[in-house]
Amino acid sequence: MATIGTDILRAKAFLEAGDLVAIPTETVYGLAANALDAHAVAKIFEAKSRPEFDPLIVHTHSLEAAHDFVSDFHPDLLKLAEAFWPGPLTLLLPRQDKIPDLTTSGLGRVGVRIPAHLLTLSLLRELAFPLAAPSANPFGYISPTQAGHVQKQLGNKLSYILDGGPSEIGLESTIVGEEDNRLVIYRLGGLSVDDIESVVGNVSIQLNQSSNPKAPGQLKSHYAPRKPLFVGNIETLANQHRDHKVAFLIFGEQPAWIEPGFMVKNLSPTQNYKEAAANLFAYLRDLDESDAEVIVCDLLPGMGLGLAINDRLRRAAG
Ligand code: TXA
Ligand code: MG
């Protein structure tokens, strides 16, 4: 099993030796390796059982450091970087040659992000290279928001887990790039569309590609629990599945018709979207590990982070 701790220098030593270390971020935990070392990056794909067409996000500590491996910043993307880094925003930017093909799956753009987590920022400042890191979960499964989640699923495949506590945001970063001089959101995430548009005006959204995706976070079935999860009117769904042990994932006040004895996880009793985002993946895991046979949930109102949460729920339902 991996060692869990808060020792940045230990994490640094493993990374310098080309090994894998899990890092905490405000979105989800990442499975990190030296982004400039193809051998180290290959270990990430192996550990995650991830198809190699899936490019990785490169994490760095400052805009200045990003300029070391990015060849050009579109002015609107630079505005977003200045407004929201460090934070839950990944920018797709033209890469320099020093980024190995494996890191970007041969694509001309590299995903770049400065995470807003003090421990990981300190680690990144200690290192002479940026860190490639996908979410630290087996491919297709729910992303980890706690060190223990990483240990449970990938603990035998990495050296060290840097423990930074539960991820504050709990949803992966929002991914933005530019095509034909227009900004495009490829993945909804921890930074809302409204926040982005408040800085650069209208952007288009391109999600839901199912084959050869530009961002596999767009794959239709992703972020998925092993148990069947159904999205819709939970009362109807609970009736349809009454022959099975049903668990409920809800948002807001608990309906009176849910009888005692049912397993219920409430994303936010007060309908706070931030709280719901932070709880989402941990609660999906709890329900997946419970003795329930079927998970049912309703979509949230489609505003703010509700859009990204609904996106994850739909993909979790496959
Ligand atoms: O919040 C996050 O983004 C977390 C933390 C660890 O930073 N990372 C994360 O990584 O969610 P991952 O690999 O699970 O999802 C990254 C998504 C993938 O769908 C990938 O295809 C897309 O970003 N992506 C990365 N680089 C890309 C590129 N050069 N072009 C297109 N898509 C890219
Ligand atoms: Mg992922």
Sign of torsion over alpha carbons 115, 116, 120, 124? positive
32-49 per-position pLDDT tens digit: 999 999 999 999 999 998
pLDDT band at 59; cut points 50, 70, 90: very high
Q: In angstroms, rounded to a whole number, what is the distance separating the alpha carbons of residues 77 and 55? A: 19
pLDDT surpasses 50 at 184: yes
Ligand 2 mean position to 64 CA, how many Å?
Answer: 26
- Using a 10 angstrom Cβ sphere, with 0-12 exposed, 13-18 middle and 19 or more buried, the burial of residue 31 is buried
Pocket test for ligand 1, best of 175, 281, 315 (most atoms within 8 A of CB): 175
Estimate the crossing angle of helix 118-126 against helix 8-16, to 10 degrees. Answer: 50
252-301 per-position pLDDT tens digit: 999 999 999 899 999 999 999 999 999 999 999 999 999 999 999 999 99
Q: Please tell me if the CB atom of residue 175 comes closer than 6 angstroms to any atom of ligand 1.
A: yes
CA nearest 174: which of 206, 222, 209, 142?
206
CATH architecture classification, 229-317: 3-Layer(aba) Sandwich (3.40)
The residues spanned by each domain of the chain are 3-205, 229-317
Pocket test for ligand 1, best of 28, 60, 90, 223 (most atoms within 8 A of CB): 90
Instruction: Look over the chain and give the mean of its residue pLDDT values, rounded to a whole number.
Output: 94
Q: In angstroms, rounded to a whole number, what is the distance separating the alpha carbons of residues 203 and 193? A: 8
Q: What percent of the chain has pLDDT over 70?
A: 95
pLDDT at site 263: 95
pLDDT at site 223: 74
pLDDT band at 140; cut points 50, 70, 90: confident
Ligand 2 mean position to 273 CA, how many Å?
Answer: 21
User: Which superfamily is assigned to 3-205 in CATH?
Assistant: DHBP synthase (3.90.870.10)
pLDDT band at 210; cut points 50, 70, 90: very low
76-110 per-position pLDDT tens digit: 999 999 999 999 999 999 999 999 999 999 999 99
